[in-house]
Every structure is written in structure tokens, then in C-alpha cells.
Structure 1
């Protein structure tokens, strides 16, 4: 969350002329309800089930595309296996420092269901630290791991495009 997945995936799509999808947008399209409202109405477990369903359908479509996953996507159900077992998928982990993530998220937390309730920057720091610790096992299995601190969107777009295409 907050690493720039959607922003960079769109930029890569523009540079390579390969279609871009945001997994959350595909879920919204499939359910006709915003992610925030889905969380409120059905809870995180139902969201994760829907996320797996949409991810699986996208991978099985074999469409060449650039996809921005949610930060929790590889950590739930068999999503990481779906990603790693597909010969047509290359995964990228955009690795940022704890401070960089907290600073990015603090100004936009109201739009993020998992952190909208957090009331202080220290509490957000604790939340992000906990999730990075819990998720690092999954994130570090990505095919490509990019350190993103102190790099511009343009630099990262070029680096990822060169690495993948």
C-alpha cells in the first residue's frame, strides 16, 4: 500500500503500449460497489475471496497486460501460487522504506479502508511496520525486487520496462 504500484503500472503501460489494469478497479467493475463500501458491507475476508477470483480469471485470460495488485493480494489464499505458477506472469515488488511509506500514506489514509481509522502518524507507522513484517515473506518472492526510495517515477518506469521488456 502506497508504494506506487498503480502509478508505475500505468506509466509502464503508456511506455510499452500494453493494456493496464488495476485489480481493485476490476473488482469494482465485477461487484458494482466501491472497495471501501465492499469492506464495510462484506468485510475483508469476502473481499479477499473476490480478489482471488478476479486475479485467477485475469491470469487465465492469458492477456498480455500490466496489472497493479493490491498490497495484500499475494499474501492471501493461493494468490502467490497463482502468480508464481503462471509462466506468463512476472511479479515486481516495489520496495520502499518504512518512513517513505508512512509519509505517502498519511496524507491519503482516508481513501484507504485498511488505514482510514488510524488517528496518529505513530499508529500508522506501527501498522505499516507490522504489515511489512507479516508480508515480507510473500513480497520477497517476487521475480523482480526494486528499491524505490529516492527514485523518480520516470527512473522507476524505465528500470521496470527495461527489466521486463
Structure 2
């Protein structure tokens, strides 16, 4: 079985993905980390030096490679992965795959992302919490269509990573 965690940046996909994989005794794959290994640089540099379109093409290729791999795994997708090209369609066409949406409100995401925005190329230019919140509202509205097609949806607001992982596990049974 392959479980694909999606949701906006800051929702906890990497943290929950590692915990979930550990609990299930599955392999763990972080899509962004795989891209960084292949490109031998960080995501922020890829965005700055080669642009988002280049990044999305690489992301699609790496995702396809992961989909073709055998074995049980938990995969943390990038926040935009299911929203670009035919990525979501490819994931949903895999017979042994389920998608899990880690759903966070704009308020939760604003608080989580404001302090680390310098490391997030998509939001690094935003100066105030108000600008970030407005940006997140717009992006979440645009991406909700894709995220809400997930097989499992778990609200992550005001929950510990362990509580979120337990809730995900209960919905997979």
C-alpha cells in the first residue's frame, strides 16, 4: 500500500509522514527531499535559479518514479504536487494508493509559516502576517478542489503530531 500525504505547506506532511511510516513499518519518502537529492540543491535554490515551471516538471518526474516503485510506503507530497498537471490523476490511478489530506485552517498555517517563511520560496517575499494570511486564503481556495478529493481528510488544528497520526491510522482501518 502507498499512502500519499497532501495538504498545504506547514500542515505537517513531513512530520506526520515519518510518524505514520514508523507506526506502519513502511518506507518513508519525502518528495521534496528526493527532488533535492536528484538536483543536488535545495528547493528554494531550484525556484530561484530555474523557476517554478522547472521545479514542477522535476516534481512530476520524481512522483512518477515513486508511483512505479514496489513496496509499502508513506509519501509526503509537496503542497502543490496534487494541484499541477495530472499528478493527482496519476496517484488516484494507482490501485494500491490512498491519499490523505492534512487539513489546516488559514489561522494555523499563518502561525506556523510566518516564522519560517524565509525558507519557503513561495511565501518568502511576504512581509507581514496580514499579507501571509491573505496569500494563504487565496491559495487554499485554489487548491481546495484538489485536496478535498483525498480518500481521507484529517483536521490538524490544535492537535499534536501523535494525535494526528493516531487519527490517520484509525481512518485507514
| Both proteins in one fold, TM over 0.5 | yes
Which residue of the partner structure matches residue 146 of structure 2? Answer: 138
SS in 2 for 1:145: strand
Matches within 5 A, 1:9-158: 9-158=17-166
Query: Aligned equivalents of 1:89 and 1:28: distance in 2?
Result: 24
Whether 1:3 and 2:11 are equivalent positions in the alignment is yes
User: C-alpha root-mean-square deviation of aligned residues, in Å?
Assistant: 1.0
1:126 is displaced (CA, Å) by 0.8
Q: Which structure's residues are more often strand, by fraction?
A: 2
Task: Determine the structure 1 residue equivalent to 2:5.
Answer: none
Quick one: distance in 2 between partners of 1:153 and 1:34?
Answer: 25
5+ residue gaps, structure 1: none
In 1, the alpha carbon distance for the partners of 2:172 and 2:124 equals: 34
Asked if structure 2 preserves the Cα contact closer than 8 Å seen for 1:3 and 1:95, the reply is yes
CA distance in 2, matches of 1:118, 1:63: 41
- The list of structure 1 runs, each at least 4 consecutive aligned residues, that deviate by more than 4 angstroms after superposition, is none
Q: Which whole-Å CA distance do the structure 2 matches of 1:161 and 1:108 have between them?
A: 29
Contact 1:62 1:88 in 2 (8 A): no
Higher relative contact order (CA 8 A, sep 6+): 2
Segments of 5+ residues of structure 2 without an aligned counterpart are 1-8
* Structure 1 residue 134 displacement after superposition: 0.5
TM-score for the superposition, normalised by structure 2: 0.92
Total equivalences in the alignment? 165
